[in-house]
Amino acid sequence: MSLSELFERYDDAWSRHDLDTIMSMHSEDGVFQLHMGKEEVSGREQVRAAFIAELQKYPDLRFERRSVRYAGDMIIFEYVMHTGGARMNALDVFVVTEGLVARKDTYVDATALAAAEAAAAEAAA
């Protein structure tokens, strides 16, 4: 499977919040880090748990694609994250090894994310 085919399948699975399909594209010893002061997690089950936590926090999460670039074994995905009426610029950097996501680093606009989290907390109160 080419990088572009892998990404299209991955993006489709995220749009449906289909964790089984998402995780089938991650290597067993894969790594994920949300660069918002969160610790890096490694191993398919820990990555899955991190994704579950984010989807529980943001059940209406969706992504608006800006661009996707491919370089060697990397995918760079620039997008706008939407949740709870908030919009946040974000960037994912994937490293692919043997056809699977070996590492995923997510960078999110910290100011917009903090505002979205405050709005979600206020709505829940």
Residue-wise pLDDT tens digits, 14-57: 999 999 999 999 999 999 999 987 799 999 999 999 999 999 98
pTM value? 0.88
Which percentage of the chain shows pLDDT scores above 90?
A: 74
| pLDDT value, residue 67 | 98
| pLDDT value, residue 110 | 81
Q: Name the fold adopted by 3-124.
A: Nuclear Transport Factor 2; Chain: A, (3.10.450)
Burial 82-121 (b: 16+ CB within 10 A, else e): bbeebebebbbbbbbeeebbbbbebebbeebbeebbeebe
| pLDDT value, residue 111 | 84
Query: Rounded mean pLDDT of the chain?
Result: 92
Domains of the chain, by residue range, sit at: 3-124
